[in-house]
Chains A and B, each alone.
Chain A
Amino acid sequence: MTNSINEIENAEVILVSGSNTTEAHPQVARRMLAAVDRGARLIVIDPRRTRLAECAHLHLALRPGTDIPLLNAMMRVLLDEGLADDLFIEMRTENFLALRDMLNRLDLEATAALTGVELSLIRQAAQLYGRARKAVICYCLGVTQHVCGTENVQTIANLAMLAGHIEKEDTGVDPLRGQNNVQGACDMGALPNMLPSYQGVANEDFREKFERAWGASLPEAPGLTLVEMTHGGAQGPIRGMFIMGENPMLSDPTLGKVEETLRGLDFLAVSDIFLTETAQLAQVVFPAACFAEKSGSFTNSERRVQMVRQAVPPPGECRADSEIIMALSGRLGYPMEYETSAEVMEEIALLSPIYGGMYHDRLERGWGLQWPCWDRDHPGTPFLHKYYFTRGRGHFMPASHTPPGELPDPEYPLLLMTGRMYHQYHTGTMTRKSERLSRECDHAVLQINPEDAKTLGLRQGETVRLLSRRGEITLAASITGQVACGMVYTTFHFHEAPINQLTNDAFDTGSRCPEYKVCAVRVEKIVDS
């Protein structure tokens, strides 16, 4: 996020795209709704009529996968109506002419028709966003989990720069990070192409810096991404894996391929707090301590690095993941000895410029620090890009429509989207162990429009079969107007109905993000034989 979560509350216009915020980021939604109470305007771009969409002043229910045309049309309106921020474009950006030419060639009527949203609604949204003094865009996986996810994000950045809605407090572009520490795991260089603090592994200078600090030579070529590793199959390059606290056997696309790959490995070790679907395939399973049984830090979506404090000792023989890593590293000829997590953080601060002033003694006081925090005296950074972008000038990246990897056809006539729900979390490793959360919802449901349900002759709650070209599952139908005719929606929390057996393995060539938001499926009524 370029802003802090609390800044959202002060925005005049909030544009939310591809985020089921009330269920997936309750605290962020709370700020959005507080802003609305105060008089802010809320625009929601989402194919589904989510709870947030119901509270919105404008709901742009676009056809899934048409984010780029929709935003391009909004930008064209900004240009036509003189709402572009000329001074910002002149002083802070480059490549504007390429964007302007592309937008001027756009047939506005045809572009709007492609998205399925009325042009008048698009115009109203553009006017609201363009005229606001302080406006934020919040987006989530509904934007990124497409074959054109990278271009979708670039188009959002184009829109924000065109309107000059960045660099100020309460104004910016806010990707909402899903997991508690997904931001931190990226910051720490748990990425195939990045060393800590986004220092590219292919860059010789960065590599040399780490080689000197770590006293070891480092591999040059960027590694494989998660889905490339888990979709290798028996012929893949990966022979052995060590998996810490992840469950690709439920979370990754086209689960059949994941299972084939993991079963085909020569060796698999998993460290986790429960015997997950992935751990069940391992040769070795390490019992890990959970967050309440160790100390360290998490980095939230607003880049705030905060302390995690040990409350109780680990049960049984459980050990913290850091102890497991150090024990293995020593046995493999690279001894690592750290007495405390504070000591690890000191090394991180030395090697990662954006964490340069992050030390546990500072994090212990107050409510943590937001990166970039360059040195011990730096107060942290509540919002980004104040006087300059990290790369210097903001570069406009014009993009045009890329259709999804798979669209409905006569054989598989419905479009499936996947996501999360309020009471469960991700693969349910933790939430499904909670009796009270499971009491709220303990099984997968397929949201389906009343029209489609009528055609298929379905009743509320009836168990149906859901099929795609890659697999089939059974789950309960939930008949609701939240999804439009021709679309269905479900979550990936439940191993009894592993929806990722059905999802497509088309992914974004830029980010290698799988296209979870669009694939073609068919719903069948189960007839007693």
Chain B
Amino acid sequence: MQDVLTTCVYCGCGCGLYLHVEDGLVCGSQPSRHHPVSRDNLCVKGWHIHESINHPDRLTTPLIRKNGVLTPATWEEALDFTARQLGSIRDQHGGKGIGVLASAKCTNEENYLLQKFARTALATNNVDHCARL
């Protein structure tokens, strides 16, 4: 059993919590005692945060739509196909033909990389996230 200190993924409060790891699976959570926000307290969503991590419905393989149905594919296929499609739209319509949505659920580093990717590789400023919703 191992405890990993991390930051809650639900609301903007940003509680510090420990994830309990047993046999390679997250099996529970507990608030950090001295964290300035959580101060030994979590809301009901924080206490049950592990349930969605291990859920059987998690996507585990890339999917490509074939004959109208999302079908398992390899990473190479999915990445190559996506790059080809986005590349051809960029080349035909310019960057203004592409839209990119970043995520308030992803890390700072990922959001930074995504907007950099949008502005350089895809040549577009059409990048936004759910800040207004």
Please give the residue numbers on chain A whose beta carbons come within 8 Å of chain B beta carbons, in ascending order.
4-6, 24-28, 30, 144-145, 176-193, 195-196, 201, 210, 214, 216, 218-219, 221-227, 229, 237-246, 248, 251-252, 266-267, 269, 272-275, 279-280, 282-288, 290-302, 304-313, 315-322, 324-329, 331-334, 336, 338, 341, 344-345, 347-348, 367, 422-423, 425, 430-431, 433-437, 440, 511-514, 516
A423 → chain B closest CB, angstroms: 6
Name 9 interchain pairs, CB-CB below 8 A, sorted by A.
A27-B41, A226-B101, A239-B92, A244-B103, A251-B133, A321-B103, A321-B114, A345-B109, A423-B44
Residues of B within 8 A of A329 (CB): 113, 117, 120-121
Is B127's CB under 8 angstroms from A192's CB? yes
Is A25's CB under 8 angstroms from B12's CB? yes
Is B57's CB under 8 angstroms from A322's CB? no
Residues of A within 8 A of B120 (CB): 214, 216, 218, 329, 334
Residue from A188, A313, A511 whose CB has the most chain B CB atoms within 10 Å:
A188
Residues of A within 8 A of B112 (CB): 188-189, 196, 344, 347-348
Nearest first, the 5 A-B pairs at minimum CB distance are A316-B60, A300-B14, A296-B107, A223-B125, A245-B103
Question: B19 contacts which of A192, A275, A311, A344 (Cβ < 8 Å)?
Answer: A311
Residues of A within 8 A of B7 (CB): 180, 291, 297-298, 300, 306-308
Q: Which residue of A lies closest to B87 (CB)?
A: A332
Is B110's CB under 8 angstroms from A322's CB? yes
Known contacts A248-B101, A282-B65, A433-B57; is A27 also within 8 Å of B115 by CB?
no
Residues of A within 8 A of B65 (CB): 282-284
Is B132's CB under 8 angstroms from A511's CB? yes
Question: B100 contacts which of A179, A242, A315 (Cβ < 8 Å)?
Answer: A242
Is B82's CB under 8 angstroms from A269's CB? yes
Residues of B within 8 A of A216 (CB): 119-120
Q: Which residue of A lies closest to B100 (CB)?
A: A242
A437 vs B107: C-alpha distance when bound (angstroms): 25
Is A434's CB under 8 angstroms from B51's CB? yes
Known contacts A218-B119, A222-B125, A284-B64; is A188 also within 8 Å of B44 by CB?
no
Interface string of B3-21 (1 = CB under 8 A from A): 0111111111111100101
- Cβ of B30 under 8 Å from chain A: no
Q: Which residue of B lies closest to A317 (CB)?
A: B61
Interface string of B54-93 (1 = CB under 8 A from A): 0101111111110000100001001111110111011011
Is B107's CB under 8 angstroms from A331's CB? no
Known contacts A180-B7, A313-B24, A321-B114; is A284 also within 8 Å of B82 by CB?
yes
A187 vs B26: C-alpha distance when bound (angstroms): 30
A346 vs B92: C-alpha distance when bound (angstroms): 35
Known: A244-B114, A311-B4, A327-B79. 4 other contacts (CB 8 A): A178-B104, A312-B24, A325-B113, A437-B45
Residues of B within 8 A of A430 (CB): 9-10, 52
Residues of B within 8 A of A284 (CB): 62-65, 78, 81-82, 85
Known contacts A179-B130, A274-B59, A431-B52; is A325 also within 8 Å of B110 by CB?
yes
Residues of A within 8 A of B106 (CB): 181, 185, 244-245, 321
Is B127's CB under 8 angstroms from A185's CB? no
A223 vs B101: C-alpha distance when bound (angstroms): 12
